[in-house]
Amino acid sequence: METTETQSILEELLVKKSQQKKKISPNNYKERLFVLTKTSLSYYEYDKDKKGNRKGSIDIKKIRCVETVNPEEQTPLERQYPFQVVYKGGLLYIYAANEESRRQWLEALHKEIKGNPDLLNKYHRGFFSNGKFMCCNQTCKSAPGCAIWETYSSLHSANTAVKPLPPVPGGQHQQALVLAADKSFLKEALAVYNYEPQGNSDVPLVRDHKYYVLKDDDPDWWQVRDLEGNEGFVPCAYLKEIAQTSDELRSITDTANVSSEEEERIDKYDWYAGNISRGQAEQLLRQKGKEGAFMVRNSSHEGKYTVSVLCMNSREKKGTVKHYHVHVNSASEFYLAENHGFSSVSRLIHYHQHNSAGVVTRLRHAVSTKMDKVPSTAMLGIGPWELKREDIVLLKEIGSGQFGVVQVGKWKGKYNVAVKMIKEGSMSEDEFIEEAETMMKLDHPKLVKLYGVCTKTYPIYLIAEYMTNGCLLGYLKNHGKELRPFQLVVMCCDVCEAMAFLEKHQFIHRDLAARNCLVDSDLTVKVSDFGMARYVLDDEYVSSLGTKFPVKWSAPEVFHYTKFSSKSDVWAFGILMWEVFSLGKQPYERWDNTQVIEKITHGYRLYRPQLASEAVYQIMYSCWHELPEKRPTFNHLLSLMEPHRENDHS
């Protein structure tokens, strides 16, 4: 007797395409009887009107996406109506006889998979054929989708929402009352222009907001405190002094009674552009000319919003503007990427300023539509981090790369420094400045220290600590045979200390490798190269599609879903340990990137280097667990390595 679980919902004779388990496998098409029940989608041999052996079955709970797929070129009439079933571990292509048949199967399957825990927010419109997706040319069958799956928002369950973000810092209004009574400031000032911080020592200015001036002895920069208690430097040309009155004190007190609805109004934000057309938005963003320039504008649908963002690449000098609708899910949360919902548009924008998560790039530079003439900051430098170019004498080139040239130099005639420079007009300028800002925020003995920058004229300089023995990878190759195993453990511990610091302060490096660490004269190793580093709000950074990353140092969740976290840094640290103990060998040296992805996906891991003890190898091996949550933290790795450092040294 059939139960509800096994009772057939839909049965039909359909054509199934072979799954092409190898790139060289030929395509073939077979007629199968497909049967849908509450628990499975199965298909059977069918001959002479008789149901034969079952050839395959998919658990309904494992289905992640059901959608149409674009027909292949010059396809025959009987294969004009294909659809796809994406499930954990595979991809099934099915051809319906006509549009009505395909619609019935899609509707029935969508009804059964509603609320499944691992539904996809993106899918591939094209077939996976001859080793790549026809829509985006990605070569891994499990590669993340390249098109938004619109049906996702109606199918995913509110109960499967992602881990909530940390709460937004509170107490702003109460803090304002305390600060207003604190007379340790010189005067009060009102911001007349918005200002984006350019360094760790700066605070942002929001037009019409009040600030407390702490120091005003510099002709260009004042030290201020905002209403939340943050202190830093701002260009004084952006401020207007105001007199303190009892009315103004009352206005501060009144802010404590502002409703949450008023607090979430988006027209007070600099990124809100209001009613402007798509064409006007594109023109303004291209005028900004910076990767990640963005604005939020009213959609053509009343009460809806669109986020417009500029993406730059070397092929398109003017850049490409992408437009994303702000959607609302069943839990009344706003989202651009379906797995990341927020209670307000402002919180949504704040998140995507730190994390691309399905958007082509992070929202980096708000573009204002206000026409006020803003005084130039081009010659102001970035406050106390700005050094005098004439104090630096360049001595010799010690390296070069995608960001420019690195030279060793003398600062003030007595300090050796490394000077990283970039030429005017380089497409890497934004990344260069972003790296400087990241280094300003990070201060640890095992991180390469930033001394300052020279930004007033080109080429821009980044002046950092000079490490005598250069790149760790080069040092291992040239001098590794002189090192004893305990010294290799110490080198790994140095890197682990730096990474534990980053982990604690919610930074992910994303490019940890021996080539990006430097060695000092006493063999201390320090982590460098923060061009890909990111501050993260919830220990996860979802990068945009097409982002480049070092495959051989990347965890499975990176090359499959471009998800970065401190645990993907841990995976890379395990590879770095392997580099150290193999004295600079190339990991997976016999395989290209595609082969590495395939091998790692099927469970392969690097072998034990000859210089690594079994216990040390177990530590690096623990970094390569398939599940990120099963990998150790950097703090735990330190505790695991410490005994080996001591034992080997003795």
CA within 13 Å, CB half, 489? 24
Angle of CA points 21, 23, 24, to nearest 5°? 105
- 218 is annotated as an active-site residue: no
Alpha-carbon gap, residue 190 to 198, rounded angstroms:
20
45, amino acid identity: E
Alpha-carbon gap, residue 516 to 528, rounded angstroms:
5
What are the CA-CA distances from residue 416 to residues 186, 480, 495, 530 (Å)?
39, 25, 23, 21
Alpha-carbon gap, residue 285 to 282, rounded angstroms:
5
Alpha-carbon gap, residue 185 to 414, rounded angstroms:
38
| DSSP structure class, residue 336 | S
Options 202, 270, 494, 511, the catalytic residue = 511
Using DSSP, state whether 118 is helix, strand or coil. coil
Alpha-carbon gap, residue 588 to 514, rounded angstroms:
15
Which residue in the block uniquely carries the two structure tokens 């600030």? 211
Using DSSP, state whether 313 is helix, strand or coil. strand
| DSSP structure class, residue 342 | B
| DSSP structure class, residue 169 | P
- If you write DSSP's letter for every residue of 551-618 in order, what string do you get? GGG--HHHHHH-EE-HHHHHHHHHHHHHHHHTTSPPTTTT--HHHHHHHHHTT--PPPPTTS-HHHHH
Pairing state between β 541-542 and 563-564: antiparallel
Which residues, other chains included, contact 514 with Cβ-Cβ below 8 Å and sequence gap of 6+? 471, 472, 473, 476, 576, 579, 580, 584
Which residue in the block uniquely carries the two structure tokens 């040294």? 649
Phi, psi (degrees; rounded to nearest 5) at 329: -90, -175
Q: Dihedral of the CA atoms 270, 276, 282, 286 (nearest 10)?
A: -40
Alpha-carbon gap, residue 567 to 637, rounded angstroms:
12
115, amino acid identity: G
- What tokens does 182 get? 């604190």
Which residue in the block uniquely carries the two structure tokens 């830093």? 232
Which residue in the block uniquely carries the two structure tokens 């309904």? 60
Residue/partner pairs of 113-116 with CB below 8 Å, 24 or more apart: 113/60, 113/63, 113/66, 113/155, 114/154, 114/155, 114/157, 115/155, 115/156, 115/157, 115/159, 115/160, 116/60, 116/61, 116/62, 116/63, 116/64, 116/155, 116/156, 116/157
Using DSSP, state whether 541 is helix, strand or coil. strand
183, amino acid identity: K
Is cis: bond before 459, omega within 30 of 0? yes
> Is the separation of the CB atoms in 179 and 195 below 8 Å?
no
Residue in 506, 484, 518, 513 with CA at minimum distance from that of residue 399: 518
Phi, psi (degrees; rounded to nearest 5) at 67: -160, 160
Residues identified as active-site: 511
